[in-house]
């Protein structure tokens, strides 16, 4: 794609977003964009802590508009006229109608944290770790009614390490997203970048549509009928939510760090625990190999390593 080198003015945008990822993304956008308005979800009455996006927008004195669902958003946009030619949507959580998309001359640019069409859906970051893939990234696409099927403006890759957790990857992708938006938005506004259908430009190895989903608390229960490799990925992927939980020494614990031991000790059945206080190790047999627990957090306690847990509990 061709991008001109002439100096571009600060892009003027409307921002759609609600969650923590949206809040940090909005902070970064505010450094180089003129934010005409911030459209977000209202703070629920029972929610006492500050809503991240509302807090950021209030601090900057940006215009704030709220909608709880698609219908409210349609009604809000029907009576509002913006001067911005485009909007940016990140971590919003409300389905946007075609009427809202069409209210912007150049549409709504969505920053999606995967290499589309891979991991369309609600939780691409977590599923990229769960799958064990070596590469992910950020896709800038134009919003359409179909889920994450819009044409692409740009994709930027990111190499995954074997130790990355969802919180760490999320922060890195927020920064990568902002860097990509800084480069592409001015060029798109100037007409130097044109959207291209995903199927025409999908990167090799990421060109087959796959779908993530919203996780539930039940997903966090460690199933030792799976392999140690899968469970170690789960511990890293679920570090933020829903966390990886099990019962150990009769106590509910969250496993916060672990590693794979390829060989299962003789006679250790799947799900059985082998503890060694001298070595400070806790091994749990899986369907393939053992999961060694490095750190854990008992309910109502601080995080501790395996040695500290064994010192106060009998396995």
CA–CA distance, 100 with 147 (Å, rounded to integer): 15
Backbone angles phi, psi at 284, to 5 degrees: -125, 125
Give me the domain span that covers residue 251: 217-312
Mean pLDDT score, 291-306: 97
pLDDT for res 60 = 95
Out of 171, 201, 231, pick the residue that ends a domain.
201
Q: What is the value of pTM for the model shown?
A: 0.93
Please give the tally of structural domains in the chain.
2
With vertex at residue 170, the alpha carbon angle to CA 169 and CA 176, rounded to the nearest 5 degrees, is: 85
Give the model confidence (pLDDT) of 230-265 as tens digits. 999 999 999 999 999 999 999 999 999 999 999 888
Neighbours of 253 (CB within 10 A): 21
CATH code for the domain in which residue 232 is found: 3.10.25.10
15 three-state secondary structure: strand
Q: Quick check: is 78 in a domain?
A: yes
Any domain includes 49: yes
In a domain, 89, yes or no: yes
Shared domain check, 231 and 101: no
121 and 256 together in one domain: no
Residue 161 shares a structural domain with residue 65: yes
Q: Who contacts 144 (Cβ-Cβ below 8 Å, separation ≥6)? A: 101, 150, 151
């Amino acid at each position: 794609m061709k991008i001109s080198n002439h100096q571009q003015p600060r892009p003027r945008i409307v921002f759609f977003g609600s969650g923590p990822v949206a809040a940090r993304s909005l902070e970064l956008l505010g450094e180089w964009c003129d934010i005409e308005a911030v459209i977000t979800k209202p703070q629920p009455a029972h929610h006492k802590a500050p809503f991240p996006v509302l807090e950021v927008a209030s601090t900057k004195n940006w215009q704030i508009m709220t909608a709880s669902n698609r219908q409210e958003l349609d009604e809000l946009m029907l009576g509002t006229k913006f001067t911005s030619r485009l909007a940016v949507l990140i971590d919003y959580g409300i389905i946007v109608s075609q009427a809202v998309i069409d209210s912007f001359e150049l549409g709504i640019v969505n920053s999606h944290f995967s290499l589309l069409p891979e991991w369309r859906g609600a939780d691409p970051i977590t599923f990229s770790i769960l799958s064990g893939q070596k590469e992910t990234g950020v896709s800038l696409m134009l919003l359409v009614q179909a889920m994450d099927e819009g044409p692409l403006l740009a994709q930027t890759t990111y190499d995954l390490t074997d130790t990355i957790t969802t919180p760490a990857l999320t922060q890195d992708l927020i920064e990568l997203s902002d860097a990509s938006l800084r480069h592409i938005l001015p060029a798109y506004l100037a007409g130097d970048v044109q959207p291209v259908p995903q199927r025409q430009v999908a990167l090799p190895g990421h060109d087959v549509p796959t779908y993530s989903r919203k996780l539930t608390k039940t997903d966090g229960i460690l199933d030792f009928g799976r392999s140690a490799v899968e469970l170690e990925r789960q511990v890293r992927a679920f570090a933020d939510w829903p966390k990886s939980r099990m019962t150990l020494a009769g106590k509910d614990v969250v496993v916060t760090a672990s590693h794979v031991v390829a060989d299962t000790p003789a006679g250790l059945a799947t799900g059985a625990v082998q503890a060694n206080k001298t070595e400070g190790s806790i091994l749990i047999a899986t369907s393939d190999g053992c999961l060694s627990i490095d750190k854990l957090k008992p309910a109502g306690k601080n995080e501790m390593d395996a040695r500290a847990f064994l010192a106060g509990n009998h396995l």
